[in-house]
Amino acid sequence: MSQILSIGGKIAEIIKKVSEAEWEPEVFVPENKDFGHYSTNVALRLAKLRELNPLDLAKELAEKISRAAPAGFFEEVHAAPPGFVNFWMSKEALCDEFARVSGDRGYGFGEGMKGKTVMVEFTDPNPFKLFHIGHLMSNAIGESIARLYEAAGAKVIRANYQADVGLHVAMSIWGMQHAGDEAPPEDAQLAEKVRYLGKAYAAGSRACRANENSPARAEIETLNKAIYEKSDSRVNALYEKGLKWSLDYFEEIYRRLGTKFDHYFFESDAGKEGLELVLDHNDVFSKSDGAIVFRGEDYGLHTRVFVNTQGLPTYEAKELGLNKKKFKLYPLDLSVIVTGNEINAYFAVLLKAMELVIPDVAEKTRHVPHGMMRLASGKMSSRTGEVIDAESLIDEIKKRVLEKERERDISGSDEETIREDVAIGAIKYSILRQGMGQDIVFDFDKSLSLKGDSGPYLQYAYARLRSILRKSGAQVSSIKCQVSGLNQEAELTLIRKIIEFPDEVSRAAEDLQTSGLANYLHKLAALANKFYETTPVLKEENESRRDALLALLDVASSVLKSGLGFLGIKAPEEI
């Protein structure tokens, strides 16, 4: 694991020392290169606290920083209105830094969370329902967050919370009971069984919601209680069959997505503990029309039912039990829960109830909401039966990848694996390149473009770099990089981008925002593409310079692969 302090980290140390700031100064890379290779707003913050002119303070800090920095570290340090300090790195500092990282295969990893244990709960599909494209959002984001925490040195436990009881299960069982001869035989393919469950759920959902006073609704409510109590052997048999089909189906999708969960939580297990928590805290919860509720209005929120009129714990109570159970099972320093932002209001109530009932758990729990994935037809709904399931989307993208391969006359021994990696990469990158709370409109053409801001574009850039290295015939690991040979502006620009990597990874982990890292990787890929298109590396006759150029391509490809890995995207050697 890399122990190297990044350039940004070194600048921040110098700033903190000379400014005597009581916080870690922010050092960032300006969008406009005229504002330096790096910049800081520390003078603006300090001026406000000390009631000073920010530009005057920035000028004073610029002089102090120049004097305090190691000789030859900066080329220039300037103050700029209204109070920024901008830094230009010297060529020598860049090359020294590149020489240090060129042999570091742990580059980008850190120790900011070493010794910490973090649980990330994500995906959370409900058994008896299809794994739809909305679950892809949670999976892509949760898996990337888990990897970013691991990159920061934390021990990460991936958790999955699944609603194996509840009204949706009762609807599915009702649909199975009324399916007649439609039920698939035991030796049927798993896909057929899952489609059957989807139809059963849709039938039960329609019957339940058609009329509040219908016999079907009453039957479904009775089933719901029987499932929770496990009081009917015939219902239990249907339940166990459907549950196994669902969980086996989910495991197949997790394998395709590259996620391996460490712990599975189920509503049926969390319900008892959640119910006890509610009943033990009548100072927090109160009775209302035969139910037990949390009056969120007292805290600027809204009222929610935690125990229904039948005495059963609702999803809210089960979630209380779940979060208590997490901390009983594991010594967690942090618990992160990834969900769609459509339940933000619900989560606000839940977190307030947790704060009052299990404050030590609430203090270490963080909710990360995300937007929804949409196609041209709009937001899907699993209640209508018109579900766009995840596997259908992946397989459709794979077909389009195959079409592009035929256009380019590409073939290889790992065609199927590569198509799978590209399809998954296209989906994940489309999700992770956006701000966390934004909705995603998935566009097939843009997401598969080899010329735009897409996952396949980054994968292709990596594959091209590796192709050049293979053609060189050199053992790159044994190449001694003579950085003095890297003196052209295109090379220095690429080096500057490479050495930004640890700061980008650290920032993504701290902010739990993947868009900045995705944007960084796109820029790195674009610079690498421009570099090898304008620099004939394999035709370079000077052996020392050729080795240096190959080392530069090797490091660039390594950073691309690591960065894609942090996003949960594979980097095929060939595309």
Distance CA 355, CA 284 (A): 10
Percent with pLDDT over 90 in the chain: 71
Per the structure block, which two tokens stand in for 139?
A: 């999976």
- Give dist(CA 92, CA 97) in Å, integer: 9
pLDDT given at position 278: 98
- Whether residue 380 is predicted with pLDDT greater than 50 in this model: the reply is no
* H helix or E strand, kind and range, residue 84: strand 84-89
The DSSP H or E segment spanning 143 is helix 133-151
Closest CA to 550 of 479, 498, 464, 462: 479
Q: Which of 226, 246, 224 is nearest to 167 (CA)?
A: 224
Highest mean pLDDT: which of 27-31, 357-361, 490-494?
A: 357-361
Q: Give the per-residue pLDDT at 445.
A: 87
78: part of which helix (H) or strand (E)? strand 74-80
Q: pTM of the entire structure?
A: 0.91
Averaged over 325-345, what is the pLDDT?
Answer: 97
3-state secondary structure of 338: strand
The mean-pLDDT minimum among 160-164, 205-209, 242-246, 527-531 falls in 205-209
Max Cα–Cα distance, the chain, nearest Å: 86
Tokens of 175: 């649909």
**Cβ atoms of 73 and 89 closer than 8 Å:** yes
478 has pLDDT over 60: no
Higher pLDDT, 31 or 562: 562
* Among 302, 379, 378, residue whose Cα is nearest residue 344: 302
Chain Cα centroid distance, residue 282:
38
- Segment 482-488 mean pLDDT: 72
pLDDT of 217-272, one tens digit each? 999 999 998 998 899 999 999 999 999 999 999 999 999 999 999 999 999 899 89
182-221, pLDDT tens digit by residue? 889 889 999 899 989 989 998 999 988 877 778 999 999 9
Rounded CA gap, 114 and 500, in Å? Answer: 21
Residue with token string 């406009």:
32
pLDDT given for residue 407 in this prediction: 62
- Residue-level pLDDT at 570: 97
For the chain, percent of residues with pLDDT exceeding 70: 93
For the record, the structure tokens of 568 come out as: 């949960």
What the chain holds in terms of domains, given with CATH numbers, is 7-89 (3.30.1360.70), 122-374 (3.40.50.620), 391-566 (1.10.730.10)
Average the pLDDT over 405-416 and give the result: 64
At 43 the three-state DSSP class reads helix
Mind listing the pLDDT tens digit for each residue in 345-373? 999 999 999 999 999 999 999 999 999 88
**Around Cβ 233, how many Cβ atoms within 10 Å?**
7
Q: Span 524-539, mean pLDDT?
A: 92
| Angle at CA of residue 304, ends 298 and 309, nearest 5° | 125
DSSP 34: G
Place of tokens 């969120």: 296
Residues 497-512 have pLDDT tens digits of: 999 999 999 999 999 9
469 within 8 A of 534, measured Cβ to Cβ: no
What's the pLDDT score for residue 211? 75
